[in-house]
Amino acid sequence: MEKQVLLVDCDPQGNASSGLGVDTENLENSLYTVFFHPEDTPKALMQPFPFLTLLPCNTNLVGAELELVDKMAREYYLEEVLKSTGQTYEYVIIDCPPSLGMLTLNALCAADEVIIPLQCEFFALEGLVQLQQTLNQIRRRLNPDLAMTGILLTMCDNRNRLAREVKDEVTRSFGDLVFETIIPRNVRLTEAPSHGKSVMHYDIRSKGAEAYLEFAKEVVRRRPSEQTESK
């Protein structure tokens, strides 16, 4: 949508980085190297595609979890990194690890809004309840302005009865918080990262790409600032 976006890879697996063609094993500068030296953040920024800037990471980021344990204000280190980019972005997207550790806590303290991707599977539904409780605690103690933008259903196969049941249950429980767009299971979505490309650059006509484009439009529509501009 030609918005200036910063993608922060905050998951030590580095999938957001490698999926965009970055050689994560040979990163000279990364989120880990700037985590405790935010003044060096501009050195770590990359621009793999127009309108998209990436702050990459690799498995070294695991060390940040351990090093943060005895630090003062340890929940706000990522926020300092983001303030040190030296640039202005319309959107900053933080890709979190699939766990509620110190890195995810830093991301939630730095964020204004949370988008929860939810696989259409039973165990993912169980994890949603735990995540809600965590978000409530963070609002009370660390980031009172943190809002939930919505829940995005992913990897959905409508031919699967369990997927349909999960979708119905989430919609019944969370109502308007569930995005209208649903991301289907799609071969092109799984192939794109292995080619070091986003699905938009790999096959923009695929059902997966079309779904994510619709999702992006829906996110923009939900933002109060965007709604004011459109008026």
Q: How do residues 56-92 score in pLDDT, each as one tens digit?
A: 999 999 999 889 988 999 999 999 999 999 888 999 9
- Greatest CA span in the chain, whole angstroms? 51
- Tell me the helices (H) and strands (E) count for the chain, helix number first: 12, 7
Tell me, what's the pLDDT at 100?
A: 83
What amino acid occupies position 215? F
Tell me, what's the pLDDT at 225?
A: 55
Tell me, what's the pLDDT at 226?
A: 54
Q: What is the pLDDT of residues 122-166, one digit of tens each?
A: 777 778 888 888 899 999 999 999 999 999 999 998 888 888 888
Mind listing the domains of the chain with CATH numbers? 1-111 (3.40.50.300)
Q: How confident is the model at residue 231 (pLDDT cuts 50, 70, 90)?
A: very low
Q: What is the pLDDT of residues 191-222, one digit of tens each?
A: 999 999 999 999 999 999 999 999 999 999 98
Distance CA 162, CA 27 (A): 41
Radius of gyration of the chain (CA): 18
Average pLDDT over residues 6-19: 96
Residues 111 and 94: beta-carbon distance below 8 Å: yes
Look over the chain and give the mean of its residue pLDDT values, rounded to a whole number. Answer: 91
| pTM score | 0.91
